[in-house]
């Protein structure tokens, strides 16, 4: 699971991280042991749960976070930081610890999705690239999971590359796969992550030919009768008849990319059946989102291709994750909790633990978060933070297939209400063990 | 203007483009001369105009669109296409012509933003990567332009990297710059495109220190009195007093990242003035968008930092550009217009020209589009399509600074109503020269 181009990620960074580094190196606070936490203050309006994705990409980015000669030369040339800081950066290696929610894990408001512990200097530099990756990928996975939930057993294919940045497209394909999509149109995602890729033809292929029949014959000759023919360039019924004339009952599928899909799918199903093509599947791909997928549940549809709404997070293209200093050494060397005091952006200081408390039947009930000693697992609690990096060594990688299976497993723990598409409260409440009520922006009641 | 890693862009491509290639190579239609057009059927709901960005990135991507050995091996390994197709791909070079709207140009519904003419085979492969780039970058530029328009002379700084994919962040910084932003927080954008980068400190820097005063002193020591101090970690008024105690009246700026900004900015201005810091500027950065920027116009604010809403297109993270075959050779070798017939996605066939018709006073009045012979420029019309690629040679590159100046110039042509933030019709109508009314999805009246 490596990129085509394993280039340095060191400049995918906000300017102020380097100026903070310079100032803290000069005053000696750069070496203070620090804990940064990545979390979302809330879910997108009315969503019931969020899905973590991007953790493995983040570990890849961490591995490539190196200030090489060319990068240092740029910083010198622009005068971004002084010589002492550039010397420190040239030797930069992250030597701290990171724990976090795994790819595919569910998150709620306040979930400590990532906990980074190291010197201030080592951790502060990672803020932007970590946030970029998790904010993007988790936004896509959170939308994707709602789609696969409502698609039931019907396969969902990711085909949104054209509607998002060309590299975000590759990341989106992976995030969608983690959340249960079965394939992608994106070839780079297939190459980089091993995700199955799929696709047959666009309208342009039909328009290129003098007759629709010529296009269909050409496609079947090239790709076999098991292919998927796009039947809505001119007249759908005529195209379906032409298709079955050419292939007989062995045509793999027809694709509908426009029109009133619920009724059109029914008409096409009837027509295919009347022509003996009872096994030929119907794939629909016209600007779908989770709401339309849910609406198509009763229709004779065999698969969904999802584009725009998937790669743009179905209305919420970013997660609102922030990366906050929650504890750091003081003058005496003790680790003390810290938090910003401004009334509209309250944070809770201290290094967190996080458990998903489940009923005896295994249904998730509470996102339980605390500071200090983590309670002993009594069998009903699931520990959410997993070791990802220890003393600079990356230990937490998972494969896309593992992440997909993990997501299925942890989503199955959620109460059934989590699948609701109507706007409402998170599927389970976030609660804080201990005395946080006064500063708790998430849920007023404390855990009892 | 080159990427850190000039790797191949050939697989930033949908699977179906390669299967269409295979089928068309086998049946001989691959060599048919074809015209593809990239356009948006409509603007995002209620927007008055759109801004093109990504054209230079697209030309970079075209230059790197090569099927190298590793790529061909992947296609063979996965059985994506057959040996004949892989052989053809190994030699792939785009040898056709491309014209398009320049970076910074304004577009409207139906504007032929990009026109690609070559064999079907050469052009069909570019669909996904071209759409990805222009859909993303133009969405960001379209939002950015509304922000800079309403910011008036006050500088806007792009700081959204953390809320979008890490590479989309770099592209967003460029798109924002084209639309009039003056700087970015993103260091890679500074390195890659030469955009000014800026930044000083986050809340974590204040929290790292035992006292706010220590953090401010450290920052001023490192970055000078001209720096920007973040004053809302604890108590704003106290922080401002501490800051001016340390720097005297020479403090460059204070930054407000939370609170009720219009009233807070007024209070801080008064306080700064009362302390003699009449030149110290006030920068605000709290989840701004074009509406909040407009609302802050009367407040004593000296600059805006914009993040989330910018990089997510302020509600519209993609432009809805499509890439459609509009003409191709027939059996006799004549170029014939083609278009899909489905009722809900009408397209107009034929290779287009496009002019912005202006009044005698130089105000834009009509987006005039036609097929065939372009009318002779009578001085009031501005030709919109510029040559970008001729016979495979890239000729249309512009620098970010040129694109920014061009955007300013063409935006100044728009009627004043184009700046309206309320939802409404495009600032000027799109009209078709000739007999297109029956199929014209954009504006019912024809040009007279």
Do A187 and A334 lie in one domain? The reply is: no
Do A155 and A95 lie in one domain? The reply is: no
Residue ranges in chain A modelled with pLDDT below 70? 1-6, 342-346, 435-448
The answer to the question of residue B9 being in a domain is no
Q: Tell me, what's the pLDDT at B15? A: 98
The answer to the question of residue B263 being in a domain is yes
Q: Tell me, what's the pLDDT at B7? A: 80
Q: Tell me, what's the pLDDT at A377? A: 72
Last residue of a domain, one of B261, B296, B315: B315
The pTM score is 0.96
Check whether B20 has a pLDDT greater than 60: yes
Do B284 and B204 lie in one domain? The reply is: yes
User: Alpha-carbon torsion A171, A176, A179, A182, what sign?
Assistant: negative
Q: Is A239 helix (H, G, I), strand (E, B) or coil?
A: helix
Contacts of B24 in chain A (CB under 8 A): 205, 208, 218
- What does DSSP say about strands A335-337 and A303-306: parallel, antiparallel, or unpaired? unpaired
State pLDDT tens for residues B92-110: 999 999 999 999 999 999 9
Contacts of B16 in chain A (CB under 8 A): 185, 199-202
Q: Tell me, what's the pLDDT at B345? A: 58
State pLDDT tens for residues B263-283: 999 999 999 999 999 999 999
The answer to the question of residue A250 being in a domain is yes
Do A44 and A96 lie in one domain? The reply is: yes
Interior angle at CA A200, CA B75 and CA B94, nearest 5: 60
State pLDDT tens for residues B42-83: 999 889 999 999 999 999 999 999 999 999 999 999 999 999
A12 touches B: beta carbon within 8 Å: yes
Q: Between residues 28 and 67 of chain B, which touch chain A (CB distance below 8 Å)?
A: 29, 32, 34, 36, 61
Q: Tell me, what's the pLDDT at A379? A: 78
Let me know if A436 is exposed, middle or buried by CB neighbors in 10 A (0-12, 13-18, 19+).
buried
Do B309 and B212 lie in one domain? The reply is: yes
For residue B199, what is the nearest residue in chain A, using CA coordinates? A16
The answer to the question of residue B61 being in a domain is yes
**Between B165, B222, B233, which is nearest A168 by CB?**
B165
Residue A146 Cα, gap to closest chain B Cα (Å): 20
Last residue of a domain, one of B281, B315, B349: B315
Do B43 and B178 lie in one domain? The reply is: no
Neighbours of B93 (CB within 10 A): 9
Do A179 and A78 lie in one domain? The reply is: no
Complex-level ipTM:
0.95
The domain in which residue A219 lies consists of 141-315
Do B267 and B293 lie in one domain? The reply is: yes
DSSP state of B282: E
Interface test mutation site (partner A, options B158, B166, B168, max chain A beta carbons within 10 A)? B166
Q: Tell me, what's the pLDDT at B442? A: 42
Interface test mutation site (partner B, options A187, A224, A256, A306, max chain B beta carbons within 10 A)? A187
Q: Tell me, what's the pLDDT at A6? A: 53
Give residue B448's pLDDT band: very low, low, confident or very high (50, 70, 90). Answer: very low
Q: Tell me, what's the pLDDT at A159? A: 98
The answer to the question of residue A2 being in a domain is no
Instruction: Identify the CATH number of the domain in which residue A40 sits.
Output: 3.20.140.10
Contacts of B120 in chain A (CB under 8 A): 204, 208
Cα–Cα distance measured from residue A144 to residue A146, given in angstroms and rounded to the nearest whole number: 5
Q: Tell me, what's the pLDDT at A5? A: 47
Do B83 and B28 lie in one domain? The reply is: yes
The answer to the question of residue A160 being in a domain is yes
Do B167 and B223 lie in one domain? The reply is: yes
B33-40 sheet: strands from edge to edge: B335-337, B321-329, B33-40, B114-119, B97-100, B386-390, B393-394
Q: Tell me, what's the pLDDT at A320? A: 92
Do A211 and A250 lie in one domain? The reply is: yes
The answer to the question of residue B445 being in a domain is no
Interior angle at CA A318, CA B163 and CA A407, nearest 5: 125
Tokens encoding B360: 């005698």
Nearest CA-CA partner of B30 in B100, B81, B68: B81
Last residue of a domain, one of B315, B331, B346: B315
Instruction: Identify the CATH number of the domain in which residue A308 sits.
Output: 3.20.20.70
For residue B20, what is the nearest residue in chain A, using CA coordinates? A201
In this complex, do B324 and A203 lie within 8 Å of one another by their Cβ atoms? yes
Q: Tell me, what's the pLDDT at A386? A: 97
A285 touches B: beta carbon within 8 Å: no
Do B169 and B295 lie in one domain? The reply is: yes
Q: Which helix (H) or strand (E) holds A369?
A: strand A364-371
In chain B, the percentage of residues whose pLDDT exceeds 70 is: 94
Nearest CA-CA partner of A356 in A426, A423, A445: A426
**Between B132, B207, B214, which is nearest A164 by CB?**
B132
State pLDDT tens for residues B156-179: 999 999 999 999 999 999 999 999
Interface test mutation site (partner B, options A208, A314, A349, max chain B beta carbons within 10 A)? A208
- E strands, B238-307, are 253-256, 281-284, 303-306
State pLDDT tens for residues B383-398: 999 999 999 999 999 9
Check whether B239 has a pLDDT greater than 90: yes
**Between B16, B163, B325, which is nearest A199 by CB?**
B16
A341 touches B: beta carbon within 8 Å: yes
Contacts of B74 in chain A (CB under 8 A): 187, 190-191
Q: Tell me, what's the pLDDT at B447? A: 34
Domain count of chain B? 2
The answer to the question of residue B130 being in a domain is no
């Amino acid at each position: 699971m490596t990129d085509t181009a394993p280039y340095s990620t060191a400049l995918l960074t906000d300017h102020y991280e380097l100026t903070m580094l310079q100032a803290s190196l000069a005053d000696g606070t750069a070496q203070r042991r620090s804990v940064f936490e990545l979390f979302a203050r809330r879910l997108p309006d009315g969503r019931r749960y969020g899905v973590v994705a991007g953790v493995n990409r983040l570990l890849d980015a961490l591995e490539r976070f190196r200030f090489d000669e060319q990068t240092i030369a740029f910083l010198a040339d622009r005068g971004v930081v002084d010589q002492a800081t550039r010397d420190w950066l040239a030797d930069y290696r992250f030597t701290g610890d990171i724990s976090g929610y795994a790819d595919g894990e569910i998150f709620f408001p306040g979930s400590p999705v990532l906990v980074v512990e190291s010197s201030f200097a080592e951790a502060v530099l990672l803020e932007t690239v970590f946030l970029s990756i998790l904010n993007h990928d988790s936004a896509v996975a959170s939308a994707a999971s709602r789609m696969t939930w409502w698609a039931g057993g019907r396969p969902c294919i990711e085909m949104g590359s054209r509607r998002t940045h060309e590299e975000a497209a590759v990341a989106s394909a992976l995030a969608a796969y983690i959340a249960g999509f079965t394939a992608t149109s994106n070839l780079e995602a297939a190459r980089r992550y091993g995700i199955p890729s799929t696709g047959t033809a666009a309208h342009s292929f039909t328009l290129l030919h003098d007759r629709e029949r010529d296009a269909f014959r050409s496609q079947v000759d090239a790709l076999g009768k098991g292919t998927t023919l796009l039947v809505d360039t001119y007249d759908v019924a005529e195209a379906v008849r032409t298709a079955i004339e050419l292939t007989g009952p062995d045509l793999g599928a027809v694709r509908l990319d426009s029109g009133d899909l619920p009724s059109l799918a029914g008409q096409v199903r009837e027509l295919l059946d009347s022509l003996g093509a009872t096994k030929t599947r119907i794939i629909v791909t016209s600007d779908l989102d989770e709401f339309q997928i849910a609406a198509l549940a009763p229709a004779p549809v065999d698969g969904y291709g999802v584009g725009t709404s998937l790669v743009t997070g179905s209305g919420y293209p970013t997660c609102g994750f922030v990366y906050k200093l929650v504890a750091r050494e003081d003058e005496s060397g003790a680790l003390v909790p810290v938090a910003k005091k401004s009334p509209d952006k309250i944070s809770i200081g201290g290094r967190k633990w996080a458990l998903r408390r489940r009923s005896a039947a295994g249904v998730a009930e509470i996102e339980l978060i605390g500071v200090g000693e983590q309670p002993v697992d009594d069998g009903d609690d699931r520990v959410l933070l997993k070791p990802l990096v220890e003393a600079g060594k990356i230990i937490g990688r998972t494969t896309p297939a593992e992440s997909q299976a993990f997501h299925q497993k942890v989503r199955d723990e959620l109460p059934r209400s989590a699948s609701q598409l109507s706007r409402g409260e998170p599927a389970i409440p976030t609660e804080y063990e201990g005395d946080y009520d006064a500063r708790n922006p998430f849920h007023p009641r404390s855990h009892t």
